[in-house]
Structure 1
Amino acid sequence: MLRYALKRLLSLIISLAIASLIIFFVIEVAPGDPAQFMLGLNAQPDTVAALRAELGLDVPKWERYLNWVGGMLTGDFGTSYTYRTPVAEMIADRLWVSLPLALYALTLSTLIAFPAGIYAAARRGRAGDVTVMGATQLGVAIPNFWFAMMLVLIFAINLRWFSAGGFAGWDKGLWTGLHSLTLPAIALALPQAAILARVMRSSLLDILGEDFMRTARAKGLSRRQALWRHGVRNALIPVLTIIGLQFAFLIAGGIIIEQVFYLPGLGRLIFQSISSRDLIVVESVVMLLVFAVIVVNFLVDLAYAAVDPRLRSRT
């Protein structure tokens, strides 16, 4: 297990190094000069040059890259060009919205997908299975921002059960904060629940066809008992991977949903920073999200190896 973990850790470090290079140079080659953007098109060249020097944009790109990476390793993400505020503080403030939103959406996704996938697998080929699979097909096909707009139309505008946007803040209480995040979490959770339910059904059907399931039935267990005692437990192994990937996606993929609901999260911070050419914020936030995705995948790999010894034996 230790050897497997070290190999995966080395892969994680290499992935992060490659990702940092790609993120930095792709963003740097994007058209537009931040200093020129901040001062306007009619700014004098010497004024633009002075601002570039103040922002540290006059040094070579490779030196800026090393300074940026070195700063992140010590917890210094730089200073925002636009707000003149440490990027780390901006990220910390908005992480308290994006992270609970991702956890809330993942919880809803799991609570919806597990019963739906198990129900469909237990009734393979019947009306219940067809209904669940049809619903999941719609969930996969329809984008989450459409769900978001429909939720706003129904529950915010017509029924007035929820606010159409904004975040009340955790200082108003846990229930108030969760209430503000409910519609965005549902919009994020529904497509992910559809994917997870299909994976759960497929995995469980594969398990139901195994010899040990037939042996369990031959020993006197009912179909329901065999399903819950042996089938579901073994079917969860591949589902762990999907849950880990979904959590990483929910952290990094909420940009549109945060825009729809005007949530002050990381996704909206990226959008605003791109609009204002605040490169240091864009680079740092994107790198943080990539780091979260890679680390979650690393932890999922370790969890997968812990429950499936065959993976460790292959290394």
Structure 2
Amino acid sequence: MARYLALRFLSLALSLAVASVVIFAVIQGVPGDPAAFMLGLNAAPETVAALRAELGLEGGLGQRYIAWVAGMATGDFGISYTYRVPVSELVADRLAVSLPLAAYALILSTALALPAGMLAAARRGGPVDWGIIGATQLGIAVPNFWFAMLLVVLFAITWPVFSAGGFPGWEAGLFAGLKALTLPAVALALPQAAILARVMRSALIETLQADYIRTARAKGLSEGAAIRRHAFRNALIPVLTILGLQFSFLLAGAIIIENVFFLPGLGRLIFQGITARDLIVVQSVTMLLVFAVILVTFLVDLAYAAVDPRLRKRG
């Protein structure tokens, strides 16, 4: 197990190093001068040079890369060109929206998908199975922003149960915050639940054909009991893979949903940073999201080892 953990930590560190180099090279290689962009075409060269020095744009690429990585290691992401506040403060404010939204959507998608996948596998070939397959196919085919607009029309305009957008802040109370995140979370969760349900169904059907499941049935175990006691845990490895990928997507890929519902999250911060050419914000937030994706992948690897003891033995 120790060797398994050491290899995973090494893979995590190498992935972060490569990602930081790629992100820095791509963003710093964007044509144009952020200082000149902020000051306008008619700015004096001395003013542009002074702003470049203030923003830390002086020096070579290697020097700036080392300063950026060293700053991130100590929690210093730099100063936003646009907002003129530390990027860490912006990230903390926006993460307070994006992280609960991703967790809320993941809980909803898991609560919908796992029972649906288990039911479809238990009733495979029947009307229930075909109905679930059709619903999941629709969920995969329809974009989540269309679900978002449909939810706004139904539950914010036709039946005004939820607001059409905005976020009141957690200081308004837990209920008010969760209520504001419900429609965005549902819009994010439905397509992910469709994918997860199909993966759960396929993994369970494959597991139910194993010899030990047939032996359990021969001993008098019902189909539902065989799924719950034996097949479910062995079918979890592909499901865990999808869950890890989904959380990463929900955290990093909710830009459209956050803009539809006017949520002040990380995705919208990146979008605003790109439009304002705030490269330090885009660079730092992108690296943070990459770190979250790699960390979730690492945790999924640990979950593999917890579910399947053979991985711990192989190291």
Structure 1: state its 5+ residue gaps.
Answer: none
Aligned to 1:308: 308
**Structure 1 position 132 matched with structure 2 position 132:** yes
Instruction: Say how many residue pairs are matched.
Output: 315
- Tell me whether 247-256 or 41-50 shows the greater mean CA deviation: 41-50
Equivalences for residues 86-165 of structure 1 within 5 A? 86-165=86-165
Aligned to 2:32: 32
Q: Which amino acid aligns with 1:253?
A: G
- Tell me whether 113-122 or 41-50 shows the greater mean CA deviation: 41-50
Aligned counterparts of 1:17 and 1:86: Cα–Cα separation in 2: 23
Aligned counterparts of 1:89 and 1:283: Cα–Cα separation in 2: 15
Q: Which amino acid aligns with 1:139?
A: G
List per-residue Cα deviations over 1:224-247 (Å, max 9, x = no partner): 222222222322232122112211
Aligned counterparts of 2:229 and 2:299: Cα–Cα separation in 1: 26
Aligned counterparts of 2:174 and 2:9: Cα–Cα separation in 1: 36
List per-residue Cα deviations over 1:130-166 (Å, max 9, x = no partner): 1111111111122211111111121112211111110
Q: Which amino acid aligns with 1:19?
A: A
Aligned counterparts of 2:89 and 2:37: Cα–Cα separation in 1: 24
Show structure 1 runs of 4+ deviating over 6 A.
none
3-state SS of paired residue (1:164): coil
CA contact (8 A) 1:164 1:261 kept: yes
Aligned counterparts of 1:313 and 1:283: Cα–Cα separation in 2: 40
CA contact (8 A) 1:32 1:277 kept: no
Aligned to 1:68: 68
Aligned counterparts of 1:92 and 1:229: Cα–Cα separation in 2: 42
Aligned to 2:234: 234
Aligned counterparts of 1:253 and 1:156: Cα–Cα separation in 2: 24
CA contact (8 A) 1:165 1:261 kept: yes
Aligned-pair CA distance for 1:312: 3.0
Aligned counterparts of 1:223 and 1:15: Cα–Cα separation in 2: 43
Aligned-pair CA distance for 1:311: 2.1
Aligned to 1:196: 196
**Structure 1 position 216 matched with structure 2 position 201:** no
3-state SS of paired residue (1:163): coil
Q: Which amino acid aligns with 2:18?
A: I
Q: Which amino acid aligns with 2:231?
A: G
Aligned counterparts of 1:24 and 1:158: Cα–Cα separation in 2: 47
Aligned-pair CA distance for 1:64: 0.8
CA contact (8 A) 1:34 1:277 kept: yes
For normalisation by structure 1, the TM-score amounts to 0.97
Aligned-pair CA distance for 1:50: 1.7
Aligned to 2:51: 51
CA contact (8 A) 2:233 2:307 kept: no
Aligned-pair CA distance for 1:104: 0.2
Aligned-pair CA distance for 1:219: 1.0
CA contact (8 A) 1:217 1:223 kept: yes
Q: Which amino acid aligns with 2:135?
A: A
- Tell me whether 7-16 or 54-63 shows the greater mean CA deviation: 54-63
Q: Which amino acid aligns with 1:307?
A: V
For normalisation by structure 2, the TM-score amounts to 0.97
Aligned counterparts of 1:82 and 1:221: Cα–Cα separation in 2: 64
Q: Which amino acid aligns with 1:174?
A: L
Aligned-pair CA distance for 1:304: 0.2
Equivalences for residues 158-177 of structure 1 within 5 A? 158-177=158-177
Q: Which amino acid aligns with 2:37?
A: F
Aligned counterparts of 1:58 and 1:235: Cα–Cα separation in 2: 54
Aligned to 1:251: 251
**Root mean square deviation of aligned Cα:** 1.1
Structure 2: state its 5+ residue gaps.
Answer: none
Aligned-pair CA distance for 1:308: 0.9
